[in-house]
Amino acid sequence: MRSARKVLAVVVIGTVVAGAGLLAQVKAGDAAHGTRQYDQYKKPKFCGTSCHTDFYRQWRQEMHSQAYVHHWDEIEYFKLAVPHAEKDPAVAGVRDGCNGCHAPVSFLAGDTPPPRPEENSRANEAVTCDLCHTITGFESDTPHNFNYYSEPGNVKYGPRGGVTSPEHVIEVSKFLPSAEFCGTCHNEKSPYGVWVKSTHLEWKEGPYAAEGVPCHDCHMPRAEGRRASMGKAYPDIRQHLFHGAHDNGKIRGTVELRIHPDIDETEPGEKVVFTVVLFNQKAGHKFPTGSVEDRIVWLHVEATDAQGKVYHLPVDPKGFEGEEYTIARDVLAYQDMGIALNDPGFQGVQRDGVPVGDRIFRMPYFDPQGRMTIQQWNTKSLGVDYRIPPRGTRVETFSFSLPFEVAPGRMTVEATLNYSKLVKPVAELLEVPPDETETVVVNEHSTVINVFD
């Protein structure tokens, strides 16, 4: 028993050392551009047609398979990022770099910018089975900006061994089950050195990392199933769901909220203060996370009197620095899109596109001129981080001086937390299809007060 363990230890150490030796020659991040060829990577259809049929069907429906062809990705890359990169040397690297995460095999093959999605090239495969399952580690100490090591070949890495596939060798990877694996693409630094995507870093400093709950537990839940259609059944197969912002069910319920008044009964002319408590009970990172420059989460509060007349309640300002970006206003922003759109005098579009006075849970991104931007690659600084941390709670108040014409009787006050994947005025300008700006209700709650004559 003892000696067997010793042998095992030697074998394990041997593998690690050999792996590290190999890694020394493998390039990562920007340096990996053009170091591989397309035919070194199997097509997802090949993996999915006869063996991994369930995983393939799941992957077809999730965003990793859409990361290059999805309409908003195509629009942002070809209408904004590529033209911007060609005009501004400071951001020239994104012409290739966007693909390191969105069309990684094209990036590794040096085929950038890849052909447009309608040309149906291999770029359309986006983030594939063979790309993820041949990643062996990452360079430096923080995973970000596609600094993964891609080592395509006959060895496929997965969470467990024990079975040999007729198609390929299976090796156990400790890296794939780690959050750092996801972080190689889910953390991003702009060319100005600013963290413009930090889902893994947010997770790392939050409660879930401390409890050993990786990304996979929420985005690849374990369930009964088979690794391959002919293989044996396991009770705990990682489902390839990767549901996130594009799954309304995932968004719904992320934050729970409750609203209460400071008094139950009042009369016209008096002031009532409503307090809303919002608790991020479901996300393992901040909400919103990822493409924070695009996403918008806003709290809308409305009172309805006994005769059905509706009053919109603006949030009470708290007075912290940068708060003006967290309360909806009637102002223009995003002027830096004018660079790519060949319109140097571009005035911008509405910043928020949601009712003025609503609280917005966001972190604004600023371009080198200090203007708010949705172009994360053109981000030189960040504003106040007023998102809701994992298991964090925020409290907002709404002071309402009841107008004299308010109807006596029951007054209902409803708080609704809304979410949209992309600020609407930006989507309208760039002609992004409406499903990207659809309003999803995250949660709602209401309370009642009595109004006397």
Kindly identify the residues of this chain, within the stretch 161-190, that bind ligand HEC according to CB under 6 A: 176-177, 179, 181-182, 184-186, 188
Cross-strand bridge partners of residue 419: 297, 440
Instruction: Give yes or no for residue 259 binding ligand HEC (CB under 6 A).
Output: no
Candidate residues 29, 48, 152, 425; the one interacting with ligand HEC per rule CB under 6 A: 48
Calpha distance 141→159 (Å, rounded): 22
Distance from C-alpha of 284 to C-alpha of 209, rounded to nearest angstrom: 8
Question: Which of 36, 42, 122, 216 forms a contact with ligand HEC (CB under 6 A)?
Answer: 216
Which of these segments, 12-20, 234-242, 311-319, 353-361, binds ligand HEC (CB under 6 A)? 234-242
Residue 341 CB, nearest approach to ligand HEC (Å)? 14
138 binds ligand HEC (CB under 6 A): no
Least separation, in Å, of the C-beta of 396 and ligand HEC? 19
State how far the Cα of 447 lies from the Cα of 453, in Å rounded to an integer.
20
Instruction: Based on the shown chain and the rule CB under 6 A, indicate whether residue 146 belongs to the binding site for ligand HEC.
Output: yes
233 in Cβ contact with 226 (< 8 Å)? yes
Torsions phi, psi for 122 (to 5 deg): -70, -15
Among 295, 351, 362, 394, binds ligand HEC (CB under 6 A): 295
CB–CB of 297/442 below 8 Å?
yes
388 part of the interface to ligand HEC, by CB under 6 A: no
By CB under 6 A, residue 377 contacts ligand HEC: yes
Q: How far is the CB of 412 from ligand HEC (least distance, A)?
A: 28
Residue in 42, 96, 97, 300 binding ligand HEC, rule: CB under 6 A: 97
Which residues are CB-contacts of 50 (< 8 A; sequence separation ≥ 6)? 229
Q: Does 42 interact with ligand HEC (rule: CB under 6 A)?
A: no
Under the binding rule (CB under 6 A), the answer on residue 150 touching ligand HEC is no
Distance of CA 307 to the CA centre of its chain: 42
Restricted to residues 56-95, the positions that interact with ligand HEC (CB under 6 A) are 56, 59, 63-64, 66-67, 70, 72-73, 76-77, 81, 94
Chain centroid to CA 166: how far? Answer: 37
* Cβ pair 388, 278 in contact under 8 A: yes
Q: Contacts with ligand HEC in 314-373 (CB under 6 A)?
A: none
The beta strand positions in 135-270, using DSSP E, are 135-138, 148-150, 155-158, 169-172, 187-189, 195-198, 222-226, 233-238, 255-261, 265-266
